[in-house]
Structure 1
Amino acid sequence: MIATAEQISPATDTDWWRGGVIYQIYPRSYQDTTGDGVGDLNGITARLPYVASLGVDAIWISPFFTSPMKDFGYDVSDYRDVDPMFGTLADFDRLVDTAHRLGVRVMIDLVLSHSSDEHPWFQESRASRDNPKSDWYVWADPKPDGTPPNNWLSIFGGGGWQWDVRRQQYFYHCFLESQPDLNFHNPEVQDALLDVTRFWLDRGVDGFRLDTINFYFADKELRDNPALPPERRNAKIAPSVNPYNHQEHLYSKNRPENLAFLKRFRELLDEYPGTAAVGEVGDAQFGMELIGQYTKDGQGVHMCYAFDFLAWDPLTAARIVEVFDNLEEKAPDGWACWAFSNHDVTRHVTRWNLDDQGARCYATLIHALRGSVCLYQGEELGLTEARVAYEDLQDPYGIEFWPEFVGRDGCRTPMVWEPSNQNGGFSDAKPWLPVAHEHLGNSVGSQEGRPDALLHHYRAIIGLRGRSEILRKGIQRSTEAHGDMLTFCRVHEGRRIFCAFNLGGEPCTTHTPDGEWRFIDGIGGKDPQVGNGGIHLGPWQYTLLEEA
């Protein structure tokens, strides 16, 4: 059922985020209303009834701030305004008001670790070594031989330092050369970014997704990162062809000073009851430790996500047990937010080569796990990674490492709303990225009239999670893998739900824990005929049982 604008505002549960479901919208690719081939804020507003119909708690909108768009909004030149490409502040206010009337909270993407080199802060900082903002970015003198001050690398390829002829110094950039890193050791920088945060809180946002939350501080002494042995390298954060994987990033990120800043950030959010923040922890070696540190005891953000379920590694039963054992060991008091897809990684249907039944199985799984959930636009439609020709690439990351790594454009192609034209109802003009022809059959319009469509399965499982305190806020016990069979119990206030998932292509059998159990219907699972205690699941089948 499609929600209507007359529905009530978001509930007053200040812990809504604990177990909540957040729907990520990439604004360039959601809905174009101006005919320029690029999505905009009014397009999001127009589609909010559809979002509300999914039953999610909140939306997370990727950056829409003023920007030269060299990294498509993750290079901010004005933190307090909307880029004209996306609309105006009045359009944003209208979006927030509409979302709240539909019962949906609004979270926005804050990019605090770096700005655009076109930001007035950087323009002033680079002008001289003694101006009021001269220390607002990470500047350093060259070594005596003129080379950069240390060995830090850029995630987007090459060295992390860029020479500036005005100051005769290097500035550090973890991403593009046009994205200089801010100097968080300067209290004025922290104050300015917290003022930005307050600006958006005062406009009514319900929280934030914090981009690269562990990148805020760089080592004050600018020490070299040590080499990472080949056996410890992985491609969770950067593709395997990127030399960024050859370092252990002890000094260019993950610094302990970040904890004090995150405490300040949390104190600000606590002035606005019901707001929440989720941090992106970009680290291949220390993700769980950082989740534990950053979400502990209300001293930092409310929740964090690492890249454990966003990597190419097959998400087997054993892998899930490993991740939860690691979480219990290193972040026992933390709160994780799980995602299978987002705007930075290959869509998980393609990564894990899932058919329709596999997609349903994993959709059910992520909503059964302890933690919060981030869904990415089109995930509910089962969209695959689009193939984008080299001449159509927009992502500087993909252009740099093509063809071994084709970048992130394949997960950023426009949302498909209906199948009747080549643009899928996204725009009347040529889209900024081509719509994948194979996506049209999975469009919203194609699925709405089919009761057995994946879209309706997402609505059903999100609805079950929304109604169940056990699934939203309960603890998770006895997470076990027996071959391809994954089993665990969710427990809350003495009530239990037993979950079983066959994550493989052969039939599996397991048994329920002691007790009387009844099958939870309406989510497309398999009734295991629990009278004899045995659960027999075919390939990619699952079942959820509630204690009688």
Structure 2
Amino acid sequence: MTSAAFSSGTRPADDWWRSAVVYQVYPRSFADANGDGTGDVNGIRARLPYLADLGIDAIWISPWYPSPLLDGGYDVSDYRAVHPDFGTLEDADALIAEAHALGIRILIDLVPNHCSWEHPWFKAALAAGKGSPERDLFWFRDGKPGGLPPTNWPAAFGGGAWQQVEDGQWYLHLFDISQPDWNWDHPKVIEEFDAILRFWFDRGIDGFRIDVADSMAKDSSLPDVPLQDGQPTREKYVGNPFYDQPGVHTIHQRWRAIADEYADTPQGARVFVAEAWLSPAERLAQYVRPNELHSAFNFDVLRCAWDAKELREVIDHTTENLWAVGAPATWVLSNHDTIRHRTRYGRDQREALKDAGVVPTDLELGRRRARAAALLELALPGGAYIYQGDELGLPEVEDLPEEVLDDPVWERSGHTRRGRDGCRVPLPWSGGEPPFGFGTGAGQPWLPQPADWAALTADAQASDPDSHLNLYKAALRIRRDTEALGEGRLSWDEDAPAGVLSFSREPGFRCLANLGEAPISLPPHRSVLLTSEPLVAGQLPSDATAWLEI
């Protein structure tokens, strides 16, 4: 397979990532080939024709490694294998080859901040005891007087970030207690991850999404964090001792050098995309300088209200800061950690990101805005990510029974936060009742699907020209065929009415997103390429986006 097989239009194949539309697969919930209720690698293989028809450039697969699955696979016990529930290394090799044959690249997750407490190195550290070289690979420390942990650092999923073991020492876990943090000051950890990267690059994967890419380096003096409302702050303030420390950049530069070793292979560039929830964009831009990671998710748009002024400010701030370091923007509306944007956009703006089940939601309004947002995202300069089910217009499942909740947030919060399971419900493919073709038989999947999803299945939408799915297909086809789209620049159209985001891209393209309350007339144009809602008497209705040839 030569790099030319991956080229998109006239763009250089080795720059594919600068404009790529990447589809995120959460493997437990995508497609189940063996009927056991859990999605698997062979399920992904079976649906590759669907993804090729959708028109995406690459797939990012959330962790498929062996794991106790106490945090959805982000608790890794072996970085060089595939979880038996998901398949085998041979299945993964076949997936990579079959995807490449269709012109689709494969990215997988790397989880470098922490591993599972089932990882052999951590089990050896527990057994070895205080002062052992095995414990130096992690953050084992003695506590403070009075039986207190070494610091007041909070864990992301609730509670404190230190867990005491039988001999009295404490280990650091910035996330769940089952996820001990690696000590990136230790050369053995550094060398191990070098080897992990090469293991997967040599198997043909095209890149990695770096989980919490801003967290590996810690301030070894272990200072406490400030209090906020009487509790240790969770803010990623400048100088935070465990987020966005300068040492992360040394790690990323080392990884970039490894990826660049593969640049002259027939497959071409291997790439990284960073997950780093950092604001403002000046901080994020440090992660995508020319000798570091290739791209980073832009979460400011995901967190932004459905408001033209706020969105324009975020888009400007993002693009200006990333362009300043030569990096493309990478836009995202939903992922496996966030409330699906159809639900988010159907809520009161001030409460859109609150946990499931606590905020009234207008799903029809959310549907309209989700369609408009999809066309806005895909028209912006740079790359874009689609979370599985976004193309079907799936809402967040907010009424999962408590007994099925699987996310550690549920337990760590003392059953006060339902967590992220609502965006991880298995996809509906076909049929009129659960499991909607998710598996090979009638067995139910690991999380229950809503009974009213029959109209949202991929099969039901395929034959409806106005469906969410066909809107995505049309948008991706136009994006691929239109020189103005993908990487590049935009210029704002200052003649746009209030409440309307309007920008032009060369040559000959204009996007208008009407976030106002009244329909608007279209500006002079050669043709209407696509709209998220039908025009009414030639006007673009509220909460709709139009693509124009000008």
* Equivalent position SS for 1:309: helix
Query: Is residue 319–residue 329 contact of structure 2 (8 Å, CA) maintained in 1?
Result: no
> Structure 1 residue 149 and structure 2 residue 150: aligned?
yes
Aligned residue type for 1:408: R
Within a 5 Å distance, the mapping from 1:365-404 to structure 2 comes to: 365-386=376-397, 387-401=399-413, 404=416
Q: Deviations over 1:38-62 (max 9, x none)?
A: 1110011011110111110000011
Mapping for residues 335-374 of structure 1, pairs under 5 Å: 335-353=328-346, 354-374=365-385
Query: Is 1:455 the counterpart of 2:469 in the alignment?
Result: yes
Residue 267 to residue 520, structure 1, CA distance change in 2 (3 Å) = farther
What pairs up with 1:18-417 in 2 under 5 angstroms?
18-126=18-126, 127-166=128-167, 168-228=168-228, 245=234, 248=237, 250-273=240-263, 274-283=269-278, 286-296=279-289, 298-311=290-303, 313-328=304-319, 330-331=321-322, 332-333=324-325, 334-353=327-346, 354-386=365-397, 387-401=399-413, 404-417=416-429
Residues 161-207 of structure 1, C-alpha deviation per residue, up to 9 Å, x if partnerless? 111224x3211101101101111122221111121011000010011
- How far, CA to CA, are the matches of 1:468 and 1:47 in structure 2? 27
- Gapped regions of structure 2 (runs ≥ 5): 264-268, 347-364
Task: Specify which of 533, 536, 541 is matched with residue 538 of structure 1.
Answer: 541
Identity %: 39
Quote the Cα distance in structure 2 between the aligned partners of 1:201 and 1:341.
Answer: 27
Letter in 2 for 1:360: R
Which residue does 1:234 correspond to in 2? Answer: none
Separation in structure 1 between the aligned mates of residue 154 and residue 367 of structure 2, nearest angstrom: 40
* Structure 1 residues 281 and 542: alpha-carbon distance in aligned structure 2, compared to 1, 3 A threshold: same
Q: Is the 8 A contact 2:276 2:284 kept in 1?
A: yes
Cα separation, partners in 2 of 1:522 and 1:508, compared to 1, 3 Å: closer
User: Which residue of 483, 497, 517 corresponds with 1:505?
Assistant: 517
Partner of 2:498: 483
Q: C-alpha separation between the residues in 2 aligned to 1:385 and 1:446?
A: 19
**Could you tell me whether the CA contact under 8 Å between 2:59 and 2:106 is conserved in 1?**
yes
Alpha-carbon distance between aligned partners in 2 of 1:184 and 1:290, rounded to the nearest angstrom: 21
Amino acid at match of 1:361: A
Deviates most, 376-385 or 413-422: 413-422
Cα distance in 2 for residues equivalent to 1:247 and 1:361: 31
Within 1, Cα distance between the matches of 2:319 and 2:29? Answer: 37
Shift of 1:227: 3.5
Shift in CA distance, 121/459, structure 1 to aligned 2, threshold 3 Å: same
Q: Which residue of the partner structure matches residue 518 of structure 1?
A: 526
Return the offset for 1:336. 2.5
1:10 to 6, 14, 21: 6
Runs of 4+ in structure 1 off by over 6 angstroms are 525-529
Evaluate the alpha carbon distance shift between residue 422 and residue 527 of structure 1 in structure 2; reply closer, same or farther with a 3 A threshold. Answer: closer
TM-score with structure 1 setting the length = 0.88
Residue correspondences, number? 513
Query: Residue by residue, what CA displacement relative to the aligned partner does 1:404-425 show, whole Å, maximum 9, x if unpaired?
Result: 5321111100110012332110
CA RMSD in angstroms comes to 2.5
The whole-number CA distance in structure 2 between the counterparts of 1:350 and 1:125 is 44
Counterpart amino acid of 2:275?
E
Between 1:395-404 and 1:320-329, the stretch displaced more is 395-404
Q: Distance in 1 between matches of 2:415 and 2:344?
A: 17
- 1:57-76 superposed Cα distances (whole Å, 9 cap, x missing partner): 00001101011111121000
